[in-house]
Structure 1
Amino acid sequence: MGLLNRMSTVVKAKMNTIMDRAEDPNETLDYSYQKQLELLQNVKRGVAEVATSKKRLELQRAKLDQKMDLLDSQAREAIKSDREDLARQALERKSTLTVQAQSLDQQIRDLEGEQAKLEATERRLSAKVESFRVKKETIKAQYSAAEAQVKVTESLTGISEEMADVGLAVQRSEEKIETMKARSAALDELVERGTLEVFSGSDEIERELAQIQAESNVESELARLKTEEGR
């Protein structure tokens, strides 16, 4: 079980690393902001729908008022004409419309309360969305700056490594040149003492010294070229 737990921990750690590399904070922030905007649009749509329904009921209520006023006038005219029966019918119809009007009034008040709640929700959500937008842009700017700084640092690190390689190459070249110079000086000293004449002729010594000098010149030129070319 201990081994399985450790393996599970390792797998989770690697998956988190992969997800962290694949995840773009800018995309995540923009996606979250977009979802909040969609939610805000839904709330605004709800406010509009409630307001539309309330307006429709208010128009119906206004029509009922017109009908009730008309029936009231008809009842008055019937009374003037001694037609109490017609007046009664008109007042009965007016009474029915009054009940309907009262029901519409209650529905309108309910919709007004619902609209007020939705509008308050819209204001709070709008403030939160705007606050998130500002924070989102700030975080994105900070992330971009940090990303640029990392790239600059990585670039500088690469330059430092290249300069270190160049330094090592120059150092090796200088050491080799010093070795060749020391060898040349030693041979010169042996020649002066006459030691080399025992083993070889002067022509051979001169050829060897010339060769050494040529090799030293080549190594010097090579080191100079490498230094100039930054290698």
Structure 2
Amino acid sequence: MGILSRASYVIRSKFNAILNRAEDPTETLDYSYEQMRDELQQVKQGIADLTTQKKRLEIQKRRLEENVEKHNEQAREAVQQDREDLARRALDKKKSKMNQIEDLEGQIAELQNTQDRLVDKKDELQNRIDEFRTKKETMKARYEAAEASTRVSEAMTGVGDEMEDVGRSIERAEERTEEMEARSQAMDELETTGAFDDALSDEDAIDRELEGGRTDREIDAELETLKAEFGKADADGADEESSAEADEAAAEADLEPSDEEVEAELEEIKQEENEGN
């Protein structure tokens, strides 16, 4: 097989495969059914045209038959008038019309035979169409059921084209997620080690450690100062609390009345009651 032949074979094979994938059997069956219906319609149209033509010949035949009867009457009347010449002419026309009628009868008979054959063909084609329609609907139902079953099976097993695309999408999403997680962890690690500070500052590692030591000493010194302040505040607070307690006791003592004051107050109350009585 030559190169061109092989290339042509490969192209035809691929083109045929594309057509097979694109072909929908249900649409093909419907198209075939419509084609058969069109053919049936053409047969019916042919029968109608043939019948019309036959009717025209039959009308023409009836007119000739009427002329034949007319020529018979003419011949009889011519004989009664002793006009043999007219009688011959009438009979001659009658003979001509009879020959035409005979030809028309032959044509009409031929058309009738053709019409009968077309009617038989139409009936046969109609039966075939009815049978094909039944098979078509059955095949469509079987195909749709098989297609639905195949889709369910592919969905369950994950081997269909759509499920394959879904699987690839999930894989790409997982890869992208892992990549982003790794990148985030790397950023955290770089931030912890101070790599970002190195990029944004002119200080080196020694400067940062010295700065950290100075900061620690300053914090320790400030802490000692705070401790000292809080220690003095506690002592002063204790003295103030003792003084406050002494003042409170004195105030309570001052508020408590003596026995003489109580007796005097009772006498005043008794006098007021007697005066009121």
The TM-score by the shorter chain falls in which range?
0.5 to 0.7
Structure 2: distance between partners of 1:22 and 1:62: 61
Q: Quick check: 1:65 aligned with 2:65?
A: yes
Residue of structure 2 equivalent to 1:184: none
Counterpart residue identity of residue 67, structure 1:
N
Structure 2: distance between partners of 1:51 and 1:123: 16
Residue of structure 1 equivalent to 2:99: 99
Q: 1:99 to 1:2 in 2, by over 3 A?
A: closer
Counterpart residue identity of residue 113, structure 2:
G
Q: SS of 1:155's equivalent?
A: helix
**What's the CA shift for 1:16?**
3.4
Residue of structure 1 equivalent to 2:86: 86
Q: SS of 2:109's equivalent?
A: helix
Structure 2: distance between partners of 1:10 and 1:2: 12
Counterpart residue identity of residue 25, structure 1:
P
**What's the CA shift for 1:14?**
3.7
Counterpart residue identity of residue 119, structure 1:
V
Structure 2: distance between partners of 1:55 and 1:40: 22
Residue of structure 2 equivalent to 1:76: 76
| Deviation string, structure 1 residues 47-93 (Cα, Å, up to 9, x no partner) | 11111111110110001111110110111112122222221111111
Task: State the TM-score, normalized to the length of structure 1.
Answer: 0.63
Residue of structure 2 equivalent to 1:26: 26
Structure 1: distance between partners of 2:15 and 2:156: 30
- Of structures 1 and 2, the larger Rg is shown by 2
Residue of structure 2 equivalent to 1:42: 42
Q: 1:155 to 1:89 in 2, by over 3 A?
A: same
Counterpart residue identity of residue 73, structure 1:
E
Counterpart residue identity of residue 153, structure 1:
S
| Deviation string, structure 1 residues 4-28 (Cα, Å, up to 9, x no partner) | 8887766555433322211111111
Q: Quick check: 1:138 aligned with 2:138?
A: yes
Residue of structure 1 equivalent to 2:261: none
**What's the CA shift for 1:37?**
1.2
Q: 1:81 to 1:5 in 2, by over 3 A?
A: closer
Residue of structure 2 equivalent to 1:194: none
Q: SS of 1:34's equivalent?
A: helix
- How many pairs align? 163
Q: Quick check: 1:17 aligned with 2:9?
A: no
Structure 2: distance between partners of 1:5 and 1:74: 84
Structure 2: distance between partners of 1:78 and 1:11: 88
Counterpart residue identity of residue 27, structure 1:
E
Structure 2: distance between partners of 1:9 and 1:87: 84
Structure 1: distance between partners of 2:8 and 2:152: 36
How is 1:203-214 mapped onto 2 (pairs within 5 angstroms)?
A: none
Q: 1:138 to 1:69 in 2, by over 3 A?
A: same
Worse-superposed segment, 6-15 or 136-145? 6-15
Residue of structure 1 equivalent to 2:240: none
Percent of counterpart pairs with the same letter?
Answer: 47
Q: 1:97 to 1:154 in 2, by over 3 A?
A: same
Counterpart residue identity of residue 123, structure 2:
R
